[in-house]
Amino acid sequence: MFSEKVHVMNHPLVAHKLTILRDKNTSVKDFRELVSEIGMLITYEATRDLPLTTKVVETPLCKAELPTLAGKKFAVVPILRAGLGLVDGVLRMVPSARVGHIGMFRDEETLEPHVYFCKMPKDVADRDIIIVDPMLATGGSADAAITEMKKRGCHNIKLMVLVAAPEGIEHLQKVHPDVDIYVGAVDDHLNEHGYIVPGLGDAGDRIFGTK
Ligand code: PRP
Ligand code: URA
Protein backbone atom coordinates (compact mmCIF):
# COMPACT_ATOMS: atom_id res chain seq x y z
CA MET A 1 0.00 0.00 0.00
CA PHE A 2 2.93 2.36 0.70
CA SER A 3 6.04 2.67 -1.47
CA GLU A 4 9.40 1.11 -0.59
CA LYS A 5 10.41 4.56 0.75
CA VAL A 6 8.19 3.97 3.80
CA HIS A 7 9.95 1.93 6.48
CA VAL A 8 7.59 0.79 9.23
CA MET A 9 9.47 -0.55 12.25
CA ASN A 10 8.64 -4.15 12.85
CA HIS A 11 10.34 -4.74 16.15
CA PRO A 12 9.01 -5.98 19.50
CA LEU A 13 10.94 -3.34 21.51
CA VAL A 14 9.47 -0.50 19.46
CA ALA A 15 5.97 -2.01 19.67
CA HIS A 16 6.22 -2.48 23.45
CA LYS A 17 7.59 0.98 24.15
CA LEU A 18 4.98 2.61 21.88
CA THR A 19 2.19 0.91 23.83
CA ILE A 20 3.46 2.43 27.10
CA LEU A 21 3.86 5.80 25.35
CA ARG A 22 0.24 5.76 24.18
CA ASP A 23 -1.14 5.08 27.69
CA LYS A 24 -2.73 8.31 28.94
CA ASN A 25 -1.51 7.48 32.48
CA THR A 26 2.19 7.43 31.48
CA SER A 27 4.02 10.18 33.38
CA VAL A 28 5.80 13.10 31.68
CA LYS A 29 9.15 11.70 32.86
CA ASP A 30 8.49 8.22 31.42
CA PHE A 31 7.01 9.70 28.24
CA ARG A 32 10.18 11.73 27.60
CA GLU A 33 12.45 8.76 28.26
CA LEU A 34 10.42 6.52 25.94
CA VAL A 35 10.41 9.09 23.12
CA SER A 36 14.18 9.24 23.37
CA GLU A 37 14.59 5.44 23.48
CA ILE A 38 12.27 4.81 20.53
CA GLY A 39 14.08 7.59 18.68
CA MET A 40 17.33 5.72 19.25
CA LEU A 41 15.86 2.48 17.94
CA ILE A 42 14.46 4.10 14.79
CA THR A 43 17.80 5.86 14.21
CA TYR A 44 19.38 2.41 14.02
CA GLU A 45 17.18 1.67 10.98
CA ALA A 46 17.40 5.15 9.46
CA THR A 47 21.22 5.02 9.42
CA ARG A 48 21.46 1.54 7.88
CA ASP A 49 22.84 2.98 4.61
CA LEU A 50 25.64 5.11 6.16
CA PRO A 51 28.79 4.48 4.13
CA LEU A 52 31.70 2.65 5.70
CA THR A 53 35.42 2.72 5.04
CA THR A 54 38.13 0.75 6.83
CA LYS A 55 41.01 1.51 9.16
CA VAL A 56 43.78 -0.61 10.60
CA VAL A 57 43.41 -1.35 14.31
CA GLU A 58 45.73 -3.34 16.52
CA THR A 59 43.69 -5.77 18.59
CA PRO A 60 45.37 -7.65 21.47
CA LEU A 61 46.01 -10.42 18.93
CA CYS A 62 46.98 -8.82 15.63
CA LYS A 63 46.60 -5.88 13.25
CA ALA A 64 43.29 -5.97 11.40
CA GLU A 65 41.62 -3.82 8.76
CA LEU A 66 38.18 -3.08 10.19
CA PRO A 67 35.04 -1.11 9.25
CA THR A 68 34.55 2.46 10.43
CA LEU A 69 32.07 5.16 9.42
CA ALA A 70 33.26 7.07 6.34
CA GLY A 71 32.43 10.36 8.08
CA LYS A 72 29.47 11.45 5.97
CA LYS A 73 28.22 14.83 7.15
CA PHE A 74 24.91 14.55 8.89
CA ALA A 75 22.33 16.85 10.50
CA VAL A 76 19.27 16.13 12.59
CA VAL A 77 16.45 18.65 12.27
CA PRO A 78 13.71 18.58 14.93
CA ILE A 79 10.38 20.21 14.10
CA LEU A 80 9.73 22.35 17.20
CA ARG A 81 8.49 21.76 19.66
CA ALA A 82 7.75 18.05 19.89
CA GLY A 83 10.63 17.03 17.61
CA LEU A 84 13.06 18.17 20.31
CA GLY A 85 12.14 15.05 22.27
CA LEU A 86 13.80 12.89 19.61
CA VAL A 87 17.10 14.75 19.25
CA ASP A 88 18.80 13.14 22.22
CA GLY A 89 18.09 9.61 20.92
CA VAL A 90 19.56 10.43 17.50
CA LEU A 91 22.64 12.10 19.01
CA ARG A 92 23.32 9.13 21.25
CA MET A 93 23.67 7.04 18.07
CA VAL A 94 25.39 9.71 15.93
CA PRO A 95 27.15 12.04 18.41
CA SER A 96 28.88 14.15 15.76
CA ALA A 97 25.65 15.15 13.98
CA ARG A 98 24.85 18.86 13.77
CA VAL A 99 21.41 20.05 14.86
CA GLY A 100 19.23 22.48 12.88
CA HIS A 101 15.93 23.70 14.30
CA ILE A 102 12.71 24.42 12.45
CA GLY A 103 9.89 26.00 14.43
CA MET A 104 6.40 25.19 13.24
CA PHE A 105 2.92 25.02 14.71
CA ARG A 106 -0.41 23.87 13.33
CA ASP A 107 -3.26 26.34 13.26
CA GLU A 108 -5.80 24.43 15.34
CA GLU A 109 -8.70 25.56 13.11
CA THR A 110 -7.26 25.13 9.62
CA LEU A 111 -4.56 22.54 10.55
CA GLU A 112 -2.20 24.58 8.28
CA PRO A 113 1.44 24.65 9.47
CA HIS A 114 3.21 27.97 10.14
CA VAL A 115 7.00 28.30 10.16
CA TYR A 116 8.13 30.68 12.94
CA PHE A 117 11.83 29.82 13.25
CA CYS A 118 14.58 28.24 11.16
CA LYS A 119 18.24 28.01 12.18
CA MET A 120 20.48 25.58 10.28
CA PRO A 121 24.19 24.73 10.20
CA LYS A 122 25.97 26.88 7.54
CA ASP A 123 26.90 23.86 5.41
CA VAL A 124 23.46 22.23 5.67
CA ALA A 125 23.21 21.75 1.89
CA ASP A 126 26.21 19.37 2.07
CA ARG A 127 24.71 17.26 4.83
CA ASP A 128 22.40 14.26 4.93
CA ILE A 129 19.30 15.34 6.83
CA ILE A 130 17.02 13.48 9.22
CA ILE A 131 13.95 15.54 10.10
CA VAL A 132 12.42 14.32 13.37
CA ASP A 133 8.92 14.75 14.78
CA PRO A 134 6.94 12.29 16.92
CA MET A 135 3.73 12.73 14.91
CA LEU A 136 2.84 12.66 11.21
CA ALA A 137 -0.86 13.52 11.08
CA THR A 138 -2.10 15.39 7.96
CA GLY A 139 1.54 15.60 6.85
CA GLY A 140 1.33 19.40 6.53
CA SER A 141 4.12 20.12 9.04
CA ALA A 142 6.50 17.52 7.63
CA ASP A 143 5.72 18.69 4.08
CA ALA A 144 6.55 22.31 5.02
CA ALA A 145 9.75 21.25 6.86
CA ILE A 146 10.97 19.16 3.91
CA THR A 147 10.17 22.03 1.52
CA GLU A 148 12.20 24.43 3.73
CA MET A 149 15.19 22.05 3.69
CA LYS A 150 14.98 21.62 -0.09
CA LYS A 151 14.92 25.44 -0.46
CA ARG A 152 18.22 25.44 1.44
CA GLY A 153 19.75 23.03 -1.10
CA CYS A 154 19.40 19.76 0.84
CA HIS A 155 18.76 16.75 -1.37
CA ASN A 156 19.25 13.70 0.83
CA ILE A 157 16.40 14.01 3.32
CA LYS A 158 14.83 11.41 5.59
CA LEU A 159 11.91 11.81 7.96
CA MET A 160 11.63 9.96 11.27
CA VAL A 161 8.34 9.81 13.20
CA LEU A 162 7.00 7.67 16.02
CA VAL A 163 3.34 7.49 14.98
CA ALA A 164 1.85 8.24 11.56
CA ALA A 165 -1.65 8.42 10.10
CA PRO A 166 -2.05 6.76 6.68
CA GLU A 167 -3.34 10.14 5.40
CA GLY A 168 -0.03 11.84 6.30
CA ILE A 169 2.10 9.18 4.67
CA GLU A 170 -0.01 9.29 1.49
CA HIS A 171 0.28 13.09 1.36
CA LEU A 172 4.08 12.99 1.71
CA GLN A 173 4.44 10.26 -0.89
CA LYS A 174 2.64 12.51 -3.37
CA VAL A 175 4.54 15.73 -2.67
CA HIS A 176 7.99 14.38 -1.67
CA PRO A 177 8.33 10.89 -3.23
CA ASP A 178 12.14 11.11 -2.87
CA VAL A 179 12.04 11.20 0.96
CA ASP A 180 12.46 8.00 2.99
CA ILE A 181 10.04 7.87 5.92
CA TYR A 182 10.89 5.85 9.05
CA VAL A 183 7.82 5.18 11.20
CA GLY A 184 7.39 3.49 14.59
CA ALA A 185 3.75 2.59 13.84
CA VAL A 186 1.06 3.44 11.30
CA ASP A 187 -2.27 4.05 13.05
CA ASP A 188 -5.85 3.75 11.91
CA HIS A 189 -7.01 7.24 10.90
CA LEU A 190 -7.18 10.96 11.67
CA ASN A 191 -10.17 12.27 13.57
CA GLU A 192 -12.10 15.44 12.67
CA HIS A 193 -9.67 17.54 14.78
CA GLY A 194 -6.61 16.23 12.95
CA TYR A 195 -5.56 13.90 15.79
CA ILE A 196 -4.18 10.45 15.08
CA VAL A 197 -6.39 7.57 16.33
CA PRO A 198 -5.57 5.64 18.47
CA GLY A 199 -2.44 7.86 18.61
CA LEU A 200 -1.00 9.21 21.84
CA GLY A 201 -2.62 12.64 22.10
CA ASP A 202 -0.67 15.87 21.75
CA ALA A 203 2.98 14.81 21.68
CA GLY A 204 4.36 18.29 22.51
CA ASP A 205 2.08 18.68 25.52
CA ARG A 206 2.98 15.21 26.79
CA ILE A 207 6.75 15.75 26.37
CA PHE A 208 6.77 19.17 27.99
CA GLY A 209 3.87 18.73 30.44
CA THR A 210 1.95 21.73 29.08
CA LYS A 211 -1.64 20.62 29.25
C1 PRP B 1 2.30 18.44 16.15
C2 PRP B 1 3.36 17.40 15.81
C3 PRP B 1 3.67 17.73 14.38
C4 PRP B 1 2.34 18.15 13.83
C5 PRP B 1 1.75 17.02 13.05
O6 PRP B 1 2.87 19.66 16.42
O7 PRP B 1 4.47 17.45 16.66
O8 PRP B 1 4.64 18.75 14.20
O9 PRP B 1 1.51 18.46 14.97
O10 PRP B 1 0.56 17.41 12.45
P11 PRP B 1 0.38 17.53 10.88
O12 PRP B 1 1.00 16.30 10.29
O13 PRP B 1 -1.11 17.58 10.71
O14 PRP B 1 1.05 18.79 10.42
P15 PRP B 1 2.03 20.91 16.97
O16 PRP B 1 1.58 21.76 15.84
O17 PRP B 1 0.96 20.40 17.91
O18 PRP B 1 3.12 21.76 17.73
P19 PRP B 1 4.03 21.41 19.02
O20 PRP B 1 5.12 20.50 18.53
O21 PRP B 1 4.54 22.74 19.42
O22 PRP B 1 3.17 20.76 20.07
N1 URA C 1 -0.08 16.30 16.60
C2 URA C 1 -0.03 15.59 17.75
O3 URA C 1 0.75 15.93 18.66
N4 URA C 1 -0.84 14.53 17.87
C5 URA C 1 -1.68 14.14 16.92
O6 URA C 1 -2.41 13.14 17.10
C7 URA C 1 -1.74 14.89 15.73
C8 URA C 1 -0.91 15.96 15.58
Give the ipTM: 0.97
For the CA of 81, the nearest atom of ligand 1 = 20
pLDDT for the residue numbered 99:
98
What is the number of the ligand 1 atom nearest to the C-alpha of 165? 12
Rounded to whole angstroms, the Cα distance separating 183 from 90 reads 14
- Cα 130 to Cα 78: distance, rounded to the nearest angstrom: 8
> pLDDT category, 66, cuts 50, 70, 90?
very high
Compute the mean pLDDT over every residue in the chain, rounded to the nearest whole number: 96
CA of 78 to the centre of ligand 1 (A): 11
The answer to whether residue 110 is catalytic is yes
* CA 39 to each of CA 47, 91, 164: distance values in angstroms, whole numbers, following the listed order: 12, 10, 14
What are the Cα distances from residue 164, in Å, to 84, 141, 159? 17, 12, 11
Number of Cβ atoms within 10 Å of the Cβ of 73: 13
Whole-number pLDDT of residue 72: 82
C-alpha 22 – ligand 1 centre gap (Å)? 16
123 is in an annotated binding site: no
CB 89 within 8 A of CB 43: yes
CA distance 49 to 140: 27
203 annotated ligand-binding residue: yes
Q: What residue spans of the chain are helical by DSSP H?
A: 12-22, 28-46, 84-93, 140-151, 166-175, 203-208
**CA 123 – CA 53 distance, rounded (Å):** 23
Q: Residue 166: what pLDDT?
A: 98
Residue in 19, 110, 147, 210 annotated catalytic: 110
68 catalytic, yes or no?
no
Residue 58 has pLDDT above 80, yes or no: yes
Confidence of residue 191 (pLDDT cuts 50, 70, 90): very high
Q: What is the pLDDT of residue 168?
A: 98
Give the model confidence (pLDDT) of 69-110 as tens digits: 998 899 999 999 999 999 999 999 999 999 999 998 878 788
pLDDT at 161: 98
pLDDT of res. 114: 87
Which residue's C-alpha comes closest to atom 21 of ligand 1?
A: 81
**What local confidence, expressed as pLDDT, does residue 1 receive?**
79
Rounded CA-CA distance 199/90 in Å is 22
Q: Report residues whose beta carbon is within 6 angstroms of any ligand 1 atom.
A: 79, 81-82, 105-106, 111, 113, 133-142, 168, 194, 202-204
Task: Please count the other Cβ atoms lying within 10 Å of the Cβ belonging to residue 138.
Answer: 18
- What is the radius of gyration, based on Cα positions, of the chain? 18
Give 183 or 111, the one with higher predicted confidence. 183
Measured by CA distance, the residue closest to atom 4 of ligand 2 is 202
